[in-house]
Amino acid sequence: MNKTVIIGGVAGGASCAARLRRLDETAQIIIMERGDYISYANCGLPYHVGGVIPSRDALLVQTPEAMKKKFNIDVRIRNEVMSIDREKKVISVRKMETGEMYEESYDTLVIATGSSPLRPPIPGIQSDRIQTLWTVNDTDRIRMAVQQQHAKTAAVIGGGFIGLEMAENLHHAGLSVSLIEAADQVMAPLDPEMAAMLHANIRENGVDLYLGDGVAAFEETDHLVTIALSSGKKVEADIVILSIGVRPNSQLAKDAGLALNERGGICVDDFLRTSDASIYAVGDVIEVEDFIFKNRTMVPLAGPANKQGRIAADNIAGGREKYEGTQGTSVAKVFDLAAASTGANEKTLQKRGLVKGKDYESIIITQNSHAGYYPGAVPLTLKLLFSPDGSMIFGAQIVGRDGVDKRIDTLAVAIRLGAGIKDLKNLELAYAPPFSSAKDPVNMAGFVAENVLRHLVTFADWDLSKENKDAVLLDVRENAEVAAFALPRAVHIPLGQLRDRLQELDPSKEIITFCAIGVRSYNAARILMQHGFEKVKLYPGGTRFYQSLYPQSDSSPLTVESVSDTGDVKK
């Protein structure tokens, strides 16, 4: 009878234990968990803080009693593993309630110790008013500060997934919120121009957003924390939430002599075995293979951790299952928007030395979430990165109010199965007016990417400062649209008049075409190119995208209504 001891529960450890029991009814399975809970929905914690998920019990996926009854698994909460003796194949365990020490033997060991929030050595960071959100107990402390201590103001440090979700939920709970991010953008998996849409919406929802400004020091005075920023600015808050990244909980593995990478992640092979064949490791604590470029990396996500736990169980039971890499597919709700990504972003491509136009291509399109004539359609913006021959999709990002998740999932599957641009064109996706359009946004991404590959269109950079300063900006929208928002220094010729007014344009100059979302400007570009204009580019996403990047106080607010294929607003 094989005896498997699993250190840590939650995503990786609990899924490994349950799968192993389904495969082997005779195995002895023990889970050691130093916390109070064996399996909980950590991704739901911010929503419990904000009251969106009112029931605390709804977050508890499994209890020790349920695991014992359903799976015959020996779950020992508040038992902390202190050391691993690989030679004797025993672990040393401390009962946290009594301090008593004991040893437990194993045939196979699984390390699923996860990760912990970073608390860098910033002056004043040890204040009790500075919290992290990672466990159910953390949630209880924050809810107590909000509900019983009547906190009115909050500062969230860090604009990653948890930071954004906490900012939204604290705002939902009625607090005045400041969000502070040392980088120039929130949500690192997105490229800057995609994150800019989130910045605008965060501010529209009344959150004070500080970008490119890190924390220099904290100071607790009376019942407030004063946060001194690198710029010299100061922010005051009743409660501070730290969300600036995580570190792997790998000290146990390090002390046992297991191989680690430079970031402290446990090195594992394709079968999730560590440098000791009797010890597996899963979840946030391990390094994984990047699915796109095949290098080693670390991606702390719940979905991959669950899959890794299942694969480790299969292999412990005698299988030969491989973990075939992480592509980082993720989605987050950020106030009114959803933001999602899969695969590599453009920042990553450039860090690897890839050059746009030579080693990769990029498109940005704006499409409706479903048929524009059916009520409730709203725009989404999709960015696609692909190889110059169209055979490989490097990654995708989407920001919008609806339909974002199913499109990123479709693209994630396409990437996982090795699809190229031609395959996106050919995908046959479900269509009915309430759900999509006859040409789904994923299909449209394939069509537009193919146009780029066939040199039917060239996209300008979203940042016009990187373009030729003498380029002519040609706005082909209708008069009413220009009256609502006039593109600075643009020449205005409506698309329907363009053929008759070509003489007003200089064929020797570079021309960048604009419309509301890119459809008419593409038609304009094709007209110009077939009339001898050789330096024609299309601005990605149209004036709608431009407005999200460069909001102007004297222009009309960006509408959330659907946009038709002609770019006209549907009221």
Terminal-residue alpha carbon distance, the chain? 68
Burial class (CB in 10 A: 0-12, 13-18, 19+), 43: middle
Distances (CA, A) of 533 to 257, 358, 505, 507, 509: 66, 23, 9, 5, 8
310-315: list long-range contacts, CB under 8 Å, 24+ apart: 310/15, 310/16, 310/19, 311/271, 311/272, 311/282, 312/12, 312/16, 312/110, 312/272, 312/280, 312/282, 313/15, 313/16, 313/17, 313/19, 313/20, 313/23, 314/19, 314/23, 315/271, 315/272, 315/273, 315/280
Beta bridge partners of 203: none
* Cα angle for residues 444, 447, 451 (degrees, 5° grid): 140
H or E stretch covering 338: strand 337-343
Task: Give helix then strand counts, H and E, for the chain.
Answer: 15, 31
Active-site residue list: 43
Structure tokens at 474: 């040609």
Distances (CA, A) of 342 to 298, 408, 493: 15, 7, 38
Helix, strand, coil fractions of the chain, as percent rounded to 5? 30, 25, 45
State how far Cα 507 lies from the chain centre.
43
Separation between Cα atoms, residue 195 and residue 188, nearest integer Å: 8
Separation between Cα atoms, residue 345 and residue 366, nearest integer Å: 18
Separation between Cα atoms, residue 253 and residue 274, nearest integer Å: 9
Separation between Cα atoms, residue 68 and residue 224, nearest integer Å: 45
Separation between Cα atoms, residue 219 and residue 235, nearest integer Å: 11
- How many Cβ atoms sit within 10 Å of the Cβ of residue 10? 27
Structure tokens at 428: 């046959």
- How many Cβ atoms sit within 10 Å of the Cβ of residue 404? 24
Beta bridge partners of 101: 94
Distances (CA, A) of 552 to 484, 485, 488, 548, 561: 12, 9, 10, 9, 19
Instruction: Measure the CA dihedral 512/516/521/523, to 10°.
Output: 180
